[in-house]
Amino acid sequence: MLSSPDDKIIIKKLRKGDVLSFDIIFRKYNRKVYYFAVSYLKNREEAEDVVQEVFMNLWRFRDQINEDYEFSRFLFKITYNSTCKKFRKQLSDKRQMEEAVKYIAAEDNQTSDDIEYDNLLENASLLAEKLPARQRKIFLLSINDQLTTEQIAEKMCISKKTVENYLALAKNSLRKSLSAEHFLHIFLL
């Protein structure tokens, strides 16, 4: 701490813009400022940034130094304010990062769900192609053209009950095939 009569002279010279006085103060206090900042921030690089900011502010506002007050209190008030500012920025950055991660995760989940759905549709289409011709035709009229069982029966000149039976067989066959495909996919992962 500056306590000798020579120290008051150094402060007076600093207030007038003397670079040598600034250098003397920097060498005397930079480590104390650093350790103070690192004790709060728990990050060396951030603490080094605080040291730089503190001494830049000291130089910038040197004319506001009150010679009647203890210099170390003035300096550590600047250090405390800079540390708090850096700490608030860390918290803000952390919140922004968490929000970004949530957003990206939501996007990834949506993309993953879309891909999974597209794969499921593709597999269902491939499996539908393996159905017997009449089952496939009735199933595709039901799914693609969204016709009712009555409309399909009328269009194909068969009974409604026959359409229902073919649809049930097609759905069961696809369900079993898709379950087997899904099980195999999970097993292979």
For 124-174, what is each residue's pLDDT tens digit?
667 777 778 888 888 888 877 888 899 989 988 899 999 898 888 888 887
Q: pTM of the predicted model, to two decimals?
A: 0.50
Q: 3-state SS of the chain? A: CCCCHHHHHHHHHHHCCCHHHHHHHHHHHHHHHHHHHHHHHCCHHHHHHHHHHHHHHHHHCHHHCCCCCCHHHHHHHHHHHHHHHHHHHHHHHHHHHHHHHHHHHHHHHHHHHHHHHHHHHHHHHHHHHCCCHHHHHHHHHHHCCCCCHHHHHHHHCCCHHHHHHHHHHHHHHHHHHHHHHHHHHHHHC
Residue 114 lies in a domain: no
Asked if residue 156 and residue 88 are part of one domain, the reply reads: no
Domain range enclosing 66 = 5-96
For 83-112, what is each residue's pLDDT tens digit?
888 878 877 767 777 776 676 666 555 555
Total structural domains within the chain: 2
